[in-house]
Amino acid sequence: MPMHIGEKEFTKRVDKGLEDDFMRGAVRSAQGRLQTNRANAADELGDWEEWRSLGQEIRQHTMENLDFYLQQLSDKIAELGGHVYFAETADDANNYVSEVIANKNAKKIAKSKSMVTEEIALNDILEENGCEVVETDLGEYILQIDDHDPPSHIVAPALHKNKEQIRDVFKEKLGYTKTEKPEELTLFAREKLRKEFLEADVGITGCNFAIAESGSFALVTNEGNARMVSTLPKTQITVMGMERIVPTWEELDVLVSLLTRAAVGQKLTSYVTALTGPKIEGEVDGPEEFHLVIVDNGRSKILGTEFQEALHCIRCAACINVCPVYRHVGGHAYGSIYPGPIGAVLTPLLGGYDDYKELPYASTLCGACTEVCPVKIPLHEQLVKHRRNIVEEEEKSDLAERLAMQGFSIVAGSGNLYKLATRMAPLLVTPFVKDGSISKGPGPVKPWTDIREFPVPQKQRFRDWFKNREKGGSERAKRGN
């Protein structure tokens, strides 16, 4: 399970999250900030809903013609003198990258942020091969030096840590002596990292979007580290999920605008770097050798299914930033490097229901995610579809629930049985009623009353009241009242 992080059991991960006050404080404040910034940036555009529709159309068109665009991209890169490798599995991708690195006899690798390399656990493999891998995105760097703490968010991987914790990590691991001021922490990391960029033999980047028409790929960052990783080392490897592609620069323009606004509430990030093939004669910057690794790892199985829209995701994390469940449990509770609503949709698709069947249920279906998604992925609907698959196709729901739902189906399907059941309800709960409320409910009501009072069913149901009233009404009518 390369995508997997933390304890195997979902409930244990959730409990750990709920008990971590530092993490929850950090997540609350980050969510508040990111939500406000996103909303302001969206309002500022004026016609946000039209932009979203455009984003949705672009992603839909691209996925429907993915084979065409991937071929175009691949041909173009070959033309430019780069190498393209289609990796069907995580292992294929890791093996290819390992080979390139071995051929170069490279030992030091500088990396910029990439979720797909987290997904395939590339760093673990490279380290096993004896390479020194340095994460150069500040968030990823913090996590790496903190004994490879996994990311808890797809844009801000160290979101679960506050600045005091980061100070302590730097202090303990790197001998940092200054304060928890973000400026001081950043400057310290910057100095450390500068050296790494210059020494690295190979640079590995992710890819926000590849541009099919020109064979380029674009990186969206605020730190500029991706630009360093992709220009300083002699050999560069870019790893992309196979869906991260746009037809032309025009579509890139739209999607980058949506991405930066939805992700961090910025009109544009400090850096949007686009690279086209290896260095050619006469050029000063850029790698001498360029490899693009296009990772499938389960994605092509999603194409053409009712989950295809999950591949529309542009990894902005807006859904994560508004999710009230994520807010309380944090990213690690999802057990996947893809947390939050998109993680709950994507992870079971890539990693299977056996390991991730709880994730689609880790949502109240409040729809906040769907509302903010810049490319209109109906996230909460996809979660319901997962639930349907888990129950009806995989038959992985528990017996007690299945029996309860069987009973529900029979009763709710019949007006008479339902009437009988609602008439019986007050009698059935009578033993549990105390002072007009139910504090300790039986069986299925227990998880409810562990936390909340359960209301007492009324002896006179609404329908009884209505019937009596109608009788009264018709009598009044007869009296000419």
- Per CB under 8 A, contacts with other proteins among 18-37 are 18
Give least dist CB 300 to other proteins, A: 24
Give least dist CB 365 to other proteins, A: 6
Question: Which residues, listed in sequence order, are joined to residue 271 by a DSSP beta bridge?
Answer: 221
Give least dist CB 374 to other proteins, A: 16
Is 455 among the residues that bind other proteins (CB under 8 A)?
yes
Is 450 among the residues that bind other proteins (CB under 8 A)?
yes
- Per CB under 8 A, contacts with other proteins among 321-350 are 324-325, 328-329
Is 420 among the residues that bind other proteins (CB under 8 A)?
no
- Contact yes or no for 83/292 (Cβ under 8 A): yes
Q: Two tokens at 338?
A: 């893809």
Q: CA distances (Å), 181 to each of 178, 205, 268, in order? A: 8, 29, 25
User: Helix crossing, 415-429 with 399-412: angle to 10°?
Assistant: 120
Question: Which residues, listed in sequence order, are joined to residue 291 by a DSSP beta bridge?
Answer: 83, 237
Give least dist CB 457 to other proteins, A: 5
Give least dist CB 329 to other proteins, A: 6
Order of strands, sheet of 271-276, starting from the edge strand that comes earlier in the sequence: 245-246, 209-211, 216-221, 271-276
Of residues 248 and 439, the one with the C-beta less far from other proteins: 439
Is 444 among the residues that bind other proteins (CB under 8 A)?
yes
Give least dist CB 83 to other proteins, A: 45
* Binding-site entries for [4Fe-4S] cluster: 313, 316, 319, 323, 366, 369, 373
Phi and psi angles of residue 336, each rounded to the nearest 5 degrees, phi first:
-135, 150
Q: Two tokens at 61?
A: 């068109």
CA distance 172 to 157: 20
- Contact yes or no for 194/225 (Cβ under 8 A): no
CA distance 63 to 244: 10
Segment interacting with other proteins, rule: CB under 8 A, options 80-88, 202-210, 241-249, 379-387: 379-387
Give least dist CB 406 to other proteins, A: 7
Per CB under 8 A, the list member of 270, 458, 468, 474 interacting with other proteins is: 458
- Per CB under 8 A, contacts with other proteins among 385-414 are 386-392, 397, 401, 405-406, 408-414
Binding-site residue total for other proteins (CB under 8 A)? 64
Pick from 142, 137, 187: nearest CA to 164: 142
Q: Two tokens at 278?
A: 């290896």
Coil, helix or strand at residue 434: strand
Burial class (CB in 10 A: 0-12, 13-18, 19+), 77: buried
- Per CB under 8 A, contacts with other proteins among 263-282 are none
Of residues 313 and 372, the one with the C-beta less far from other proteins: 372
Residue by residue, what is the 3-state secondary structure of 143-204? HHHCCCCCCCCCCCCCCCCCHHHHHHHHHHHHCCCCCCCHHHHHHHHHHHHHHHHHHCCEEE
Give least dist CB 461 to other proteins, A: 5
Is 433 among the residues that bind other proteins (CB under 8 A)?
no
Of residues 202 and 318, the one with the C-beta less far from other proteins: 318
Of residues 268 and 412, the one with the C-beta less far from other proteins: 412
Contacting residues toward other proteins, per CB under 8 A: 14-15, 18, 324-325, 328-329, 361-368, 370-371, 384, 386-392, 397, 401, 405-406, 408-416, 418-419, 422, 425, 437, 439, 444, 447-448, 450-458, 460-463, 465-467, 469
